[in-house]
A and B are shown apart, each in its own frame.
Chain A
Amino acid sequence: MKIKDLSLEELFTSGHTACPGCGGAIVARIAMKVFGKNTCAYFPANCLLVFGGTYPYNAFKVPYLHVLFENSAVCAAGISRALKKLGRDAKTVAFAGDGGTADIGMQSLSGAAERNEDIIYICYDNEAYMNTGIQRSGSTPFGAWTTTTPVGKKIAGKEVFKKDVPRIMMAHDVPYVATASIGYPNDFLNKLEKARDMKGFRYLHVFAPCPTGWRYDPAKTVEIGKLAVECGMWTLYECENGVFRITKKPKLSPVTDYIKLQGRFRHMTEEQVDTLQGWVTEKWEKISGETKG
């Protein structure tokens, strides 16, 4: 599918209250265009829950459910199983953030993947708890400032690395795991389309920059989404029925190209930048080794 083939209908309507330049809003809007009307959507507690709908108003035009924070995968599975039993032919998708996926939602996610529930799980990754005001999550990268990894006199930024959730999901041997970035529309659309048309558990992890939390000019959301892939901080791949494939080979440009645009990395020392660069290099070696193996 190409951009021009996308439906004109906005199932995630204008008038939502996301911050200007929100990467998560782009994910929701485009994903709904690909999935279409015949979809039930689940939302845990996250930014999208709040900016996508504050009672009695809502931006989504499809059946919509929120239960709690840490149970997106199992709630989506509950919907999907009930639809099946009631003979309603519809897809179920969960839109969770990185905190609700990598941290508090991990147990329910792993359980649903193990059972191969017939759902699409989208993690829109903005690398921190943005809804509650930019606290670090397991998905926050090394060095990044957040309100719980402040730049102090003794310690500055996050001291540990980003958790690699897509690889954890691959270890579940589910039909489809893919990573995407809003900066690569055709790649993103292909993966949404595959996820839509397959059966069983489908996991899509989408890099979704957040101007408010990352401290950059909102106009740069897509640009940052591209730079992250170019420098290797984020890698685009998919694993379809066990076949792993890198869908965009990174240029492996220096991470400084990527981090210099963002206030959250501004404080980093040369040593910290080297550590981050080392992590990227090592990660890429691991991933490219996987394609050979």
Chain B
Amino acid sequence: MYEVRFHGRGGQGARMAAEALADAAFLEGNYAMAFPFFGAERRGAPVVAFTRVDKQKIRIRTQIYEPDYVVVLDDKLVDLINITEGLKKGGMAIINSAKKPEDIDLGKKVSTATIDATGISLDVLGVPITNSAILGAFAKATGLLDIDSIKKGIVDMFSMRMDKKLAEKNARAAAIAYDKTIVGTCKAQRTFEKRKMWLPTYKEMPLGLATPPMKTEAGLVGPGSFIENKTGSWRTFKPILDHEKCIMCLFCWFYCPEGCIERVGNTTLKINYDYCKGCGICANECPKNAIEMVRE
């Protein structure tokens, strides 16, 4: 049996990739299952999905804690999350990145494959949706499946949610990725702090979960505590404000869904990149074109 954990962001199609991989493995005579972590994550938030493949019927229904492979759809996640957490000895990371494996720092030396899935998907599909190209890289790097099965799996699963022609284009992206995948070993220079979580006993937990603002070992909880959730990491495009052009009309400040444009006195605006998700409303609404969206 082998187990795969996919890391992506809400809307990037990690779940569909996991499903297409399961279908591909099934087409080769295996038993396979794929499932998301059932959360309520919004578009842009980090998410995970899983695939499990075996020669016989799979009975285990738990989440996957020690995967054989991790697949990362968005290389920015590598900086946020310890994606090798729980990765089995001898396991492998397959990462969407234009970099070479040895230029990627996963905090732990592991066998790593990279593919510029974003570039391929922009070429083939016209959008940076990488969930098909990354599967081509998976097939190449692991040697577990034939690329033709991956292509069929993609067409099978993707055409349930989109036009068949688009599904076939996705299969083509996988085939291109298959040929361009580089396998090597990543570097291990940084360390990841273990994410802290507030896990009170039932007695420590406020009765009925009625929670006032409180400080816990894992930070603030209760009213207003989301302020510690730095959503800036979701961003692909970044707004740059040209102060010369700004006339302080405050439309950007008003419209920002994140409330991350700060008013400094009556004369200046400042974008708080800790929270900016890069939606681009500010740039779109600025009457003086003082805000430009640039790729991170």
Chain B residues numbered 193-233 whose CB sits less than 8 Å from any CB in chain A? 198, 209, 211, 216, 220-231
In the complex, A13→B42 CA distance in Å?
Answer: 17
Chain A residues numbered 63-94 whose CB sits less than 8 Å from any CB in chain B? 63-64
Chain A residues numbered 157-192 whose CB sits less than 8 Å from any CB in chain B? 182, 185
In the complex, A287→B211 CA distance in Å?
Answer: 46
Chain A residues numbered 30-58 whose CB sits less than 8 Å from any CB in chain B? 30, 47, 50-58
- Which of B11, B229, B279, B280 is in CB contact (< 8 Å) with A15? B229
Binds B, one of A136-144, A199-207, A219-227, A232-240: A219-227
**Min CB gap A139→B, angstroms:** 21
Interface check B272, CB cutoff 8 A: yes
Binds A, one of B76-84, B138-146, B174-182, B254-262: B254-262
The 3 closest A-B pairs by CB, nearest first: A219-B280, A56-B221, A21-B279
Q: B253 near A3 (CB under 8 angstroms)?
A: yes
Chain B residues numbered 274-296 whose CB sits less than 8 Å from any CB in chain A? 274-275, 277-281, 283-285, 293
Q: A51 near B251 (CB under 8 angstroms)?
A: no
Minimal Cβ-Cβ distance residue in B for A52 = B226
Known: A218-B279, A219-B284. A62 touches B255 (CB 8 A): no
Interface check B69, CB cutoff 8 A: no
Residues of A within 8 A of B231 (CB): 14-17
In the complex, A58→B206 CA distance in Å?
Answer: 15
Q: A10 near B281 (CB under 8 angstroms)?
A: no
Q: B228 near A15 (CB under 8 angstroms)?
A: yes
Q: A61 near B257 (CB under 8 angstroms)?
A: no
Q: B222 near A13 (CB under 8 angstroms)?
A: no
In the complex, A59→B293 CA distance in Å?
Answer: 26
Tell me the A residues contacting B by CB distance below 8 Å: 3-4, 6, 8, 10, 12-23, 25-26, 29-30, 47, 50-64, 131, 182, 185, 211-212, 217-223
Tell me the B residues contacting A by CB distance below 8 Å: 10-11, 40-45, 198, 209, 211, 216, 220-231, 234-235, 249-251, 253-260, 263, 272, 274-275, 277-281, 283-285, 293
Q: A30 near B254 (CB under 8 angstroms)?
A: yes
- Which of B42, B224, B256 is in CB contact (< 8 Å) with A51? B42
Q: B253 near A20 (CB under 8 angstroms)?
A: no
Minimal Cβ-Cβ distance residue in B for A225 = B255
**Min CB gap B162→A, angstroms:** 11
Known: A13-B224, A61-B223, A185-B251. A8 touches B284 (CB 8 A): no
Q: A14 near B281 (CB under 8 angstroms)?
A: no
Mostly, the B contact residues are: loop
Residues of A within 8 A of B280 (CB): 21, 217-219
Known: A59-B226, A219-B279. A26 touches B284 (CB 8 A): no
A10, A20, A21, A219 — which one has the most chain B CB atoms within 10 A of its CB?
Answer: A20
**Min CB gap A159→B, angstroms:** 22
**Min CB gap B230→A, angstroms:** 7
Known: A14-B258, A20-B278, A30-B254. A219 touches B283 (CB 8 A): yes
B255, B256, B277, B283 — which one has the most chain A CB atoms within 10 A of its CB?
Answer: B255
A14, A56, A61, A222 — which one has the most chain B CB atoms within 10 A of its CB?
Answer: A14
- Which of A13, A55, A222 is in CB contact (< 8 Å) with B284? A222
In the complex, A182→B281 CA distance in Å?
Answer: 12
Q: B43 near A220 (CB under 8 angstroms)?
A: no
In the complex, A173→B218 CA distance in Å?
Answer: 50
**Min CB gap A89→B, angstroms:** 19
